[in-house]
Structure 1
């Protein structure tokens, strides 16, 4: 999904998932390196990743609506509207 594999800006830890627990080390936790679906920060991480990519292509966010990106090239204007994980 769109929310997988986004780079996290802060440290997040989670309990070991079922089937992953090592006998005698059940008290240890896992440090997340990438965003997971269902994680509270996942939509924001996805938006930051998408924004950086679109800006690298020459798009910029509209001042009045930060979910609409615009690029004008050779007199032609292209708009991209972002809604959750749809473009």
Structure 2
């Protein structure tokens, strides 16, 4: 349940954000061991995320992100106004 609360409001999340949010990782997630990276990706897939290229609205630069369908718990984040909008790249 703790991980669900941490991911609430993150329909789109970068691996870097997930690394910091879920496992309190520090530094560059690109430098983490491959086994740890695969584990983190497996966790994200388990929560319904899939890898896709996204672009932040109003930006020219795309990035690889993990995206999922909305969860009911996301409503609180939307109501608080703490949202960023992304589109498929």
Query: TM-score, with normalisation over the residues of structure 2?
Result: 0.30
Query: TM-score, with normalisation over the residues of structure 1?
Result: 0.31
> Which structure has the highest strand share of the two?
1
Q: Greater relative contact order: 1 or 2 (C-alpha under 8 angstroms, separation 6 or more)?
A: 2
